[in-house]
Structure 1
């Protein structure tokens, strides 16, 4: 019962061989059923794809791949309690594989050496592009050090986000993370940001001799760094103005 459903050409499929094995059918009869169905209704042909396999006698023989819809139509004719149990297991296997596709993305199975080499080259290039972002995100996730907003802007720029400190401050104000009202609270975190733990305010007392003042500086927490890294590099891809 292993691998009832597999990935092929970026979708979840099963094969006529696996169906025949699981339901105790002769493979040639399963193939005949598929060909009868597609001959009667040409719209069903996109649910089945002809392939080949190597038999125990080392012969290349025909088989069919089928998606969830193709399997469902084919299995409608399989009766009995045992057949129902197998149908349920197949549907569960399709669900599991399709969830993986949605979560991690589909992949293309190469048909020849040339395609395999091209696929490997494309994957290596993509991994190289994503590597600094992944490393940066992991480092930020473990960070307990608060940094200045301008420092976060520099790090983002190093990782492919065209960003400067002034633009980042403007984006944070526009999107409700920092106070935009002019005055002593200018560029201080909003209540929303403080509740999320994205910023902290560092206070420093300055002695002027005859009087003292308090300087307030907004700093991005480790949690805030991870939040904004995900927002800019992965999740929302914010539009910068």
Structure 2
């Protein structure tokens, strides 16, 4: 399971204002404004939390990365449902981190390292049939291209892609093919797969399909 970059397990865990905005159904600039007001109230230097990223137009933008304490302080002023979403996301992060620590114990001796390498090699061999089945059957059945998602919405793929561009789903800086923005991939809403002809194609997960439908309905793009 790929966790958002804001949840990297090998560094201090943070949540970006863009992720908070998405969870709380608010505009990123409004969440940034709330952050800045919080920093002033707490006597904190906003520059300590600033992070630069590039938007779909390749323009440099700023967001804030908050630890759990500041995240909870920020969303205390939001309603219960929105706070609950953020709390659940932090729980997912904690569970993921514990899982990683459990699965990857660091060897303390040469014999342990050799045994770990042997165990991993054996497991890879054992899992090959499962991996092949997943790639050929499961992934094919659970990933959808834009045309398939559009068909379920009774609109054209061209129309759907136009809406997705407006929602900043696609990375416009990549010209050779359509590719998802990193935040869309990090939230497990889609990924880039290679077709049998060798072309790269953005594919939506079932979670991504549900996200697209919810977004377009909420924005009145479809009924």
Q: TM > 0.5 between the two?
A: no
Q: Which has the higher contact order (CA 8 A, sep 6+)?
A: 2
Comparing both structures, which one devotes a greater share of its residues to helix?
A: 2
Larger radius of gyration: 1
Comparing both structures, which one devotes a greater share of its residues to strand?
A: 1
TM-score normalised to structure 1 length: 0.39
TM-score normalised to structure 2 length: 0.42
